């Protein structure tokens, strides 16, 4: 059988159209060993992380950092933590979807080749043709799809910001627990030393017949209780440090190389009081929360996404058109054609999808209002807790001052020989216990202030700015 050149051309076009459908994909298997090595290699003193700190305003001469605070630990989490890496990859996908949404529909090529067994001298036996389908999008659907993809990317961006804030808040809470543990341990050490002296003195008195065995046993029981609390604090410290290491995305061994900046409790309470104590601040905090809370901004983005979905469903009611120019050589005749196609739904528009999209918008609107009301209520409750805790801290401070004055008087009496060493040591122990009560009240204030900051989802006691921008893949996760 002999084919003409026209037949060969048509056949070649058909083959090319099939070959063009084949795309090459790169295979990228997960190497679990390499992934584990990458996790263990995260170093808070690495050149990459130091460069990240420089990008966020830290002078080069101050690196590597000698001490770390909440802001530098937050930056470490933003650079190394895997949870944020997952969200950033999802955001990168959402941003790619914007370009995908703007892609114009592809034209298609159709070819035919046929042979008739009824050929004669006047009719050629071969028929072959070529048509091209050119789709035309109507009613700005492409622009609306781009808008929808942009709104979806904004929702994901807020998700990244929420993860970043969650990490910072976890670090802040655990850092407060770390400093409280250190302060409690220091006071417990003094308490154990004083109670040990008391036990020793009671032991001597029992031997001298000046005290009962019951008094000695009671003092010894208090000593054992204090030692047990001291051991508990030591074990809790290791757990807290491991938790903070996890919060910032480091292994415990790497975190050990970090020196945590000491906390000035009194100065911290004074700074937060300047923000929270004024009665006028109550409404200001509520307004800031309604403007700055990430989940509220995410809710707004979801509402905008729902509105775009309504626009798209309305636009979908206008069907797209496909124009199909073609050429056909049919048994000796040369025929050209121009066709078009569209859905026949002009009289049967499906309004159910539009109604569904509108209902989703109503749901998002209701959720937004509920979130605002919940935020205001949460801040009001936390402020009430703060002022109650502040009164408790004031009372603990007054009691400590009274105990210190009493101990000073007892010390003077001891110097004059009016009382024994046991009484003076007991009063000194009471001063340590009063300090513990004050310290507990102070850290309770810090914890409540941290809860208020979490309700705001914004640092309100520092000038630190959470570096969540459109450059989502500039960190270690890249």
What is the mean pLDDT of each successive set of 10 residues along the chain, which is 478 residues long?
A: 48 52 57 61 84 88 88 91 85 85 80 72 73 76 82 86 90 94 94 93 87 88 93 92 91 89 89 75 72 78 78 73 76 70 57 72 76 80 88 93 91 85 89 94 93 84 63 39
- Residue 25 has a pLDDT of 55
Residue 253, judged by CB atoms within 10 A of its CB (0-12, 13-18, 19+), counts as exposed
Please give the structure tokens belonging to residue 191: 């308490």
- Residue 44 has a pLDDT of 85
| CA distances for 241 relative to 177, 250, 353, 428, angstroms | 10, 11, 53, 32
- Residue 473 has a pLDDT of 41
Measured in residues, the chain has a length of: 478
| Domain spans of the chain, in order of start | 70-456
- Residue 207 has a pLDDT of 86
Half-sphere exposure of 174 (CA within 13 A, CB side): 22
- Residue 208 has a pLDDT of 84
The DSSP result for 32-71, as a single string, is HHHHHHHHHT--TT-HHHHHHHHHTT--GGG-S-SSB-HH
Sheet with 321-330: list strands edge to edge.
108-115, 126-136, 321-330, 333-341
- Residue 16 has a pLDDT of 53
CA distance 386 to 176: 16
Half-sphere exposure of 458 (CA within 13 A, CB side): 17
Contact residues for 6 (Cβ-Cβ < 8 A; gap 6+): 128, 329
Please give the structure tokens belonging to residue 454: 């979490």
| CA distances for 391 relative to 180, 277, 285, 394, angstroms | 20, 12, 21, 5
* Strand locations in 144-303 (E): none
Helix (H, G, I), strand (E, B) or coil at 398: helix
Could you tell me the fold of the domain covering 70-456? Outer membrane efflux proteins (OEP) (1.20.1600)
CA distance 98 to 153: 8
Q: What is the DSSP letter of 260?
A: B
CA distance 53 to 72: 8
- Residue 83 has a pLDDT of 86
- Residue 343 has a pLDDT of 59
Contact residues for 244 (Cβ-Cβ < 8 A; gap 6+): 73, 171, 174, 175, 178, 255
């Amino acid at each position: 059988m002999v084919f003409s050149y026209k037949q060969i051309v048509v056949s070649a076009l058909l083959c090319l159209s099939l070959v063009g459908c084949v795309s090459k994909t790169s295979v990228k298997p997960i190497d679990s060993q390499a992934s584990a090595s990458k996790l263990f290699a995260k170093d808070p003193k690495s050149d990459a992380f130091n460069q990240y700190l420089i990008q966020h305003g830290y002078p080069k001469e101050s690196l590597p950092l000698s001490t770390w605070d909440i802001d530098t630990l937050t930056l470490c989490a933003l650079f190394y933590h895997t949870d944020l890496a997952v969200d950033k990859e999802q955001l990168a996908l959402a941003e790619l979807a914007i370009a995908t949404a703007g892609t114009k529909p592809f034209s298609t090529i159709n070819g035919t080749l046929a042979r008739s067994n009824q050929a004669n001298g006047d009719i050629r036996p071969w028929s072959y043709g070529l048509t091209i389908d050119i789709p035309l999008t109507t009613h700005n659907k492409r622009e609306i799809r781009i808008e929808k993809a942009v709104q979806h990317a904004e929702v994901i961006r807020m998700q990244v910001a929420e993860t970043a804030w969650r990490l910072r808040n976890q670090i802040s809470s655990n850092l407060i627990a770390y400093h409280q543990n250190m302060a409690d341990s220091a006071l417990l050490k003094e308490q154990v030393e004083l109670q040990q002296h008391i036990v020793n003195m009671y032991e001597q008195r029992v031997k001298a017949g000046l005290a009962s065995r019951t008094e000695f046993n009671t003092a010894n029981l208090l000593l054992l209780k204090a030692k047990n609390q001291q051991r508990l604090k030591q074990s809790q410290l290791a757990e807290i440090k491991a938790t903070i290491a996890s919060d910032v995305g480091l292994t415990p061994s790497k975190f050990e190389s970090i020196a945590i900046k000491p906390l000035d409790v009194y100065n911290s309470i004074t700074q937060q009081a300047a923000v929270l104590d004024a009665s006028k601040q109550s409404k200001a905090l509520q307004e800031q929360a309604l403007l700055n809370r990430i989940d509220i901004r995410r809710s707004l983005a979801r509402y905008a996404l729902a509105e775009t979905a309504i626009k798209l469903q309305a636009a979908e009611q206008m069907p797209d058109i496909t124009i199909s120019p073609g050429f056909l050589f049919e048994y000796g005749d040369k025929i050209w054609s121009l066709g078009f196609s569209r859905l026949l739904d002009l009289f049967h528009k499906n309004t159910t999808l539009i109604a569904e999209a509108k209902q989703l918008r109503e749901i998002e609107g209701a959720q937004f209002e509920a979130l605002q009301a919940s935020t205001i209520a949460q801040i009001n409750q936390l402020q009430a807790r703060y002022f109650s805790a502040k009164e408790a801290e004031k009372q603990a401070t007054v009691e400590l001052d009274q105990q210190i004055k009493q101990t000073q008087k007892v010390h003077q009496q001891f110097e004059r020989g009016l009382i024994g060493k046991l009484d003076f040591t007991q009063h000194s122990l009471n001063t340590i216990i009063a300090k513990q009560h004050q310290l507990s009240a102070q850290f309770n204030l810090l914890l409540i202030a941290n809860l208020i900051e979490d309700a705001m989802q914004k640092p309100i006691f520092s000038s630190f700015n959470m570096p969540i921008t459109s450059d989502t893949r500039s960190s270690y996760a890249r």
